[in-house]
Amino acid sequence: MLRVPPQFLVLLLCLSSGTAAFAEPVPPGPARRVAENRTANHLLIGAAANGVQNPPSALAAFHVASALGNSRSGHTQGDSARPPMSAVVVLGVDRTSFDRTEDVILHVTITNPTGHSLRILKWFTPLDGVERSLFTVMRDGERVSYLGKMVKRAAPTDKDYITLRAGESMTTDVDLSEYYALSVSGNYDVKYDVTSIQLYAENEEGRFNNGRLTSNALHLFIEGRSAPAP
């Protein structure tokens, strides 16, 4: 019997389920998020039943398939006839509840799901540390303040961009409690979300630059703790 590697199994599940291209196009917004979350849950259950032991990897495959499907179905900003130069971000955690003594560690994976290399401005990634607000953090519906540093820079040069080859991923950990005001206990929603016209370096083929890097949302309970040291 042919044995399919788990990561490819998840991707095949995504594609065959219609995740990568909804039968009826669903525009961005609450309805699409509900549909994607429902599909993701089914895929994670199916992946576990088929031997996939790492749910964040399964979720990453789901988001990669969604990104590919959105390109095919024309769900892009601007000229839908041209594939977007966009990476996808998947956030993962080892637990969803943190007491006041635990660091809130996020696993951040940036993947290039396209068929070509992407050059991403590293200032908008945590790969060399967090130098600006990279996450939208909400507590019980209220936006949480970013307390980390904000580095002002001149215009980016070629050396400020990192290259992700087609299909390549990079992963790093971020301690959310070092950068955001988590002094109040509550339910937190966390999402990676940055936008800049300089985010992607346009290559010689002139592919469309959508200037966005975003992720799935995490839903966490976090007990209040002291603010990070300045």
Q: How far is CA 18 from the centre of its chain?
A: 20
Q: Which residues contact 118 (CB under 8 A, 6 or more apart)?
A: 85, 86, 87, 112, 163, 164, 200
Against a cut of 0.85, is the pTM above it? Answer: no
- Mutual orientation of helices 6-17 and 30-49 as an angle, nearest 10°? 140
The pLDDT of residue 209 is 57
The pLDDT of residue 3 is 42
φ, ψ of residue 146 to 5 degrees: the values are -85, 130
The pLDDT of residue 17 is 42
The pLDDT of residue 21 is 39
Burial (Cβ within 10 Å: 0-12, 13-18, ≥19) of residue 90: buried
Q: Which residues of the chain does CATH 2.60.40.2970 include?
A: 82-230
Lookup: tokens for 62: 């789901």
The answer to whether the CB of 62 falls within 8 A of the CB of 40 is: yes
The pLDDT of residue 139 is 96
The pLDDT of residue 170 is 96
Q: Which of 3.30.450.20, 3.40.50.10860, 1.10.10.10, 2.60.40.2970 would CATH assign to domain 82-230? A: 2.60.40.2970
The pLDDT of residue 155 is 85
Residue ranges of the chain with per-residue pLDDT less than 70: 1-85, 202-210, 229-230
